[in-house]
């Protein structure tokens, strides 16, 4: 089992040092610390385990260190800043693991950009030595790339010439869309195995600043101090410690403080039940929306990598919508509070994670549920949603859906639109109608009328119709479902993020699957053997 929970005391691959207003995050990969057997992580190359620590550090810096306004990503390896994803790992990994590895690393790099854009925590890359492949792609996620001008340090994307795969962790997209590297130069850069250094790296926009060796550390620090000066984070507020999750995992599923996951292996479904708050808002890590976000995030990641055959996630909720409303208001009207902002931003990222998860998501709105405000976004994030009309024998209150300001701005999707805007893309009348019900408690008929749920059924039909639908879904090709969902979830404009998950990831997955990469004589398998790969030369 791959566990996504860690904390700085357990890091094997990163050194985190906080010197307010700066944090130093230095890569120092333990070659023997791989998640799996069979490969050694030399030269600061990495696997999913290394990235789990990075994601944890990025997250903790936001919550636990309001006083940090700039983060410097560096490396303790003087010769190789980071060699990118470990090739031995890639060659050994089954296709689903490779894909999940790339998805998670992409999400982590996106979270770095999100911290920088929205959380007042700017990232700076201090590159000494060679930043290659995934190493340079990590650097590309920062705001300001500083390269030491020592005649040898360089940046490189050697995936194509060396490995027969793509710079698939956002590299190709960020080169042309973020850094505005001219496409013909990007083409050249991506075929130069040894990379580009010095003035040319600067002229081609591959880095932002070239610094002599002798003044590197002090210049990097100075830039970080400048960046931190622009932050709107409070310098003296205490951080909120992300204390260990309360979690029990057994064969039947996962149990957290505010979340329950019930796994049905025969039916290939997991029912994810969000449990509403049990009291009025409390502070800190116990703040229910934060606790729930951390638990749902952990559950999603667990299901992604440890439960590969679970094809459908059924999203449910249980609780008191009136209590949810009190928390929701705190997230929508943040009143300049850094912590509430962080929690809302976390929900934004978490909902994006739901939509980037290659599982069918079905939201069930039933009596006793509490889909209000930010929780109601789960209805809109799902591939389909069904609502039970009326009540059931168990005496629970009739199901209601309540949209709030949470659906009108603070939680945009990866395409930059709200879920309502996406749902009613090109349908102004539909959007207006759905927007007009914000603030109203909607029963099944009203929610259907507003276009918020796919269908409505009464108690008599509910169980049977859902059973048939879920069985049918489980009978379809998992691959075709993944492709279909990835295409239907993001109508409208594209952003760098959707391009990375749509265009770039789809092509990388295709390349990974091809014999030219993963076959016996493919580039990944032949790497390091001294043998050249043997390619099927047909262009597809």
Q: Which of residues 70-109 bind a copy of itself (CB under 8 A)?
A: 95-96, 99
Rounded to a whole number of angstroms, the minimum distance from the CB of residue 455 to a copy of itself is: 8
How far is it, in rounded angstroms, from Cα 195 to Cα 23?
28
Q: Which of residues 358-377 bind a copy of itself (CB under 8 A)?
A: 358-359
With respect to a copy of itself, which residue has the nearer C-beta, 311 or 319? 311
Q: For residue 305, state whether it binds a copy of itself (rule: CB under 8 A).
A: no
Cis peptide upstream of residue 21 (ω within 30 degrees of 0):
yes
Q: How many residues touch a copy of itself (CB under 8 A)?
A: 88
Q: For residue 497, state whether it binds a copy of itself (rule: CB under 8 A).
A: no
**Choice from 152, 479, 528, 531 touching a copy of itself (CB under 8 A):** 479
Binding mask 430-469 for a copy of itself (x = CB under 8 A): x--------------------x--x---------------
Q: Give one word for 353, left, alpha or beta, with left for phi > 0 and alpha for psi -120 to 50.
A: alpha
With respect to a copy of itself, which residue has the nearer C-beta, 115 or 496? 496
Rounded to a whole number of angstroms, the minimum distance from the CB of residue 174 to a copy of itself is: 10
- The SS3 of residue 452 is coil
Those residues with Cβ within 8 angstroms of residue 475's Cβ, 6 or more apart along the chain or in another chain: none
With respect to a copy of itself, which residue has the nearer C-beta, 24 or 507? 507
The stretch among 3-11, 332-340, 367-375, 486-494 that binds a copy of itself (CB under 8 A) is 486-494
CB of 168 within 8 A of CB of 231? no
Q: For residue 519, state whether it binds a copy of itself (rule: CB under 8 A).
A: no
**Choice from 432, 487, 528, 531 touching a copy of itself (CB under 8 A):** 487
Q: For residue 125, state whether it binds a copy of itself (rule: CB under 8 A).
A: no
With respect to a copy of itself, which residue has the nearer C-beta, 309 or 394? 309
With respect to a copy of itself, which residue has the nearer C-beta, 77 or 385? 385
Strands (E), 403-524: 441-442, 455-458
The stretch among 81-89, 369-377, 437-445, 495-503 that binds a copy of itself (CB under 8 A) is 495-503
With respect to a copy of itself, which residue has the nearer C-beta, 8 or 430? 430
With respect to a copy of itself, which residue has the nearer C-beta, 106 or 173? 173
Instruction: Please state at what angle helix 338-355 crosses helix 321-332, rounded to 10 degrees.
Output: 110
Q: Which of residues 325-354 bind a copy of itself (CB under 8 A)?
A: none
How far is it, in rounded angstroms, from Cα 56 to Cα 297?
12
* 497, containing H or E segment: helix 496-499
**Choice from 385, 404, 407, 418 touching a copy of itself (CB under 8 A):** 385
Q: Give one word for 338, left, alpha or beta, with left for phi > 0 and alpha for psi -120 to 50.
A: alpha
CB of 347 within 8 A of CB of 289? yes
Q: For residue 492, state whether it binds a copy of itself (rule: CB under 8 A).
A: yes
CB of 100 within 8 A of CB of 176? no
Binding mask 232-261 for a copy of itself (x = CB under 8 A): ------------------------------
- Calculate the CA 363 to chain-centre distance: 21
**Choice from 8, 161, 267, 284 touching a copy of itself (CB under 8 A):** 161
Those residues with Cβ within 8 angstroms of residue 437's Cβ, 6 or more apart along the chain or in another chain: 403, 446, 450, 452
CB of 386 within 8 A of CB of 333? no
Instruction: Tell me 260's DSSP state.
Output: E
Rounded to a whole number of angstroms, the minimum distance from the CB of residue 503 to a copy of itself is: 4
Rounded to a whole number of angstroms, the minimum distance from the CB of residue 107 to a copy of itself is: 16
Q: Which of residues 179-218 bind a copy of itself (CB under 8 A)?
A: 180, 182-188, 190-191
Rounded to a whole number of angstroms, the minimum distance from the CB of residue 116 to a copy of itself is: 17
CB of 259 within 8 A of CB of 273? yes
The stretch among 76-84, 111-119, 145-153, 163-171 that binds a copy of itself (CB under 8 A) is 163-171
**Choice from 165, 293, 387, 388 touching a copy of itself (CB under 8 A):** 165
With respect to a copy of itself, which residue has the nearer C-beta, 181 or 211? 181
**Choice from 422, 442, 447, 470 touching a copy of itself (CB under 8 A):** 422
With respect to a copy of itself, which residue has the nearer C-beta, 77 or 116? 116
- Calculate the CA 499 to chain-centre distance: 14
Rounded to a whole number of angstroms, the minimum distance from the CB of residue 86 to a copy of itself is: 18
Instruction: Please state at what angle helix 48-64 crosses helix 95-118, rounded to 10 degrees.
Output: 20
Rounded to a whole number of angstroms, the minimum distance from the CB of residue 410 to a copy of itself is: 21
Q: For residue 270, state whether it binds a copy of itself (rule: CB under 8 A).
A: no
With respect to a copy of itself, which residue has the nearer C-beta, 319 or 502? 502
Q: For residue 425, state whether it binds a copy of itself (rule: CB under 8 A).
A: yes
Task: Sheet with 154-156: list strands edge to edge.
Answer: 130-132, 154-156, 196-197
What residues are paired with 145 via a beta bridge? 125
Give, in degrees to the nearest 5, the angle at Cα 438 between 437 and 443.
55
**Choice from 267, 281, 284, 478 touching a copy of itself (CB under 8 A):** 478
With CA atoms as reference, report the closest residue to 367 among 349, 348, 390: 390
Q: Give one word for 284, left, alpha or beta, with left for phi > 0 and alpha for psi -120 to 50.
A: left
With respect to a copy of itself, which residue has the nearer C-beta, 36 or 185? 185
In whole angstroms, how large is the CA radius of gyration of the chain?
Answer: 24
Rounded to a whole number of angstroms, the minimum distance from the CB of residue 514 to a copy of itself is: 5
Task: Sheet with 312-318: list strands edge to edge.
Answer: 247-250, 253-256, 259-264, 269-275, 312-318, 360-365, 384-389, 455-458
Q: For residue 176, state whether it binds a copy of itself (rule: CB under 8 A).
A: yes
């Amino acid at each position: 089992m791959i566990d996504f929970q860690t904390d700085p005391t357990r890091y094997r691959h990163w050194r985190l040092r906080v010197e307010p207003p700066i944090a130093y995050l230095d890569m120092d990969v333990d070659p023997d610390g791989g998640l799996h057997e069979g490969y050694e992580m030399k030269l600061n190359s990495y696997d999913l385990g290394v990235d789990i620590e990075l994601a944890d550090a990025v997250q903790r810096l936001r919550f636990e260190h309001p006083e940090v306004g700039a983060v410097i990503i560096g490396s303790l390896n003087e010769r190789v800043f980071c060699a990118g994803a470990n090739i031995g790992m890639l060659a050994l990994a089954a296709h689903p693991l490779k894909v999940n590895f790339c998805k998670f690393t992409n999400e982590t790099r996106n979270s770095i950009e999100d911290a920088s854009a929205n959380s007042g925590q700017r990232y700076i890359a201090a590159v000494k030595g060679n930043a290659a492949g995934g190493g340079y792609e990590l650097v590309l996620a920062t705001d300001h790339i500083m390269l030491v001008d020592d005649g040898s340090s360089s940046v490189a994307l050697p995936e194509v010439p060396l490995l027969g795969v793509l710079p698939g962790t956002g590299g190709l997209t960020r080169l042309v869309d973020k850094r505005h590297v001219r496409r013909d130069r990007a083409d050249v850069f991506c075929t130069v195995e040894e990379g580009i250094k010095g003035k040319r790296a600067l002229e081609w926009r591959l880095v932002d600043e070239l610094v002599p060796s002798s003044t590197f550390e002090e210049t990097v620090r100075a830039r970080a101090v400048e960046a931190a000066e622009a932050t709107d984070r409070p310098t003296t507020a205490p951080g909120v410690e992300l204390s260990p999750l309360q979690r029990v995992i057994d064969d039947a599923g996962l149990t957290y403080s505010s979340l329950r996951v019930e796994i049905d292996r025969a039916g290939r479904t997991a029912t994810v039940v969000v449990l509403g708050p049990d009291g009025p808002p409390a502070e800190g890590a116990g703040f229910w929306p934060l606790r729930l976000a951390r638990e749902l995030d952990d559950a999603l990641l667990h299901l992604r990598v440890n439960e590969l055959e679970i094809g459908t996630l059924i999203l449910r909720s249980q609780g008191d919508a009136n209590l949810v409303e009190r928390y929701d208001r705190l997230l929508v009207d943040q009143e300049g509070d850094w912590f509430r902002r962080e929690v809302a931003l976390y929900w934004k990222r978490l909902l994006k994670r739901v939509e980037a998860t290659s599982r069918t998501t079905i939201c069930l709105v039933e009596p006793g549920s509490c889909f209000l405000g930010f929780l109601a976004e789960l209805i809109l994030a799902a591939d389909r949603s069904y609502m039970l009309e009326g009540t059931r024998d168990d005496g629970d209150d009739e199901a209601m859906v309540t949209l709030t300001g949470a659906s009108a701005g603070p939680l945009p999707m990866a395409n930059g639109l709200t879920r309502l805007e996406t749902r009613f893309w090109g349908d102004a009348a539909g959007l207006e109608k759905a927007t007009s019900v914000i603030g109203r408690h909607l029963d099944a008929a009203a929610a259907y009328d507003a276009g918020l749920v796919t269908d409505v059924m009464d108690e008599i039909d509910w169980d049977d119709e859902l059973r048939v639908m879920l069985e049918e879904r489980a009978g379809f090709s998992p691959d075709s479902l993944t492709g279909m969902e990835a295409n239907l979830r993001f109508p409208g404009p594209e952003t760098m993020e959707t391009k990375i998950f749509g265009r770039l990831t789809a092509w990388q997955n295709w390349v990974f699957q091809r014999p030219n990469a993963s076959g016996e004589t493919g580039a990944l398998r032949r790497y390091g053997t001294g043998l050249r790969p043997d390619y099927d030369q047909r262009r597809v």
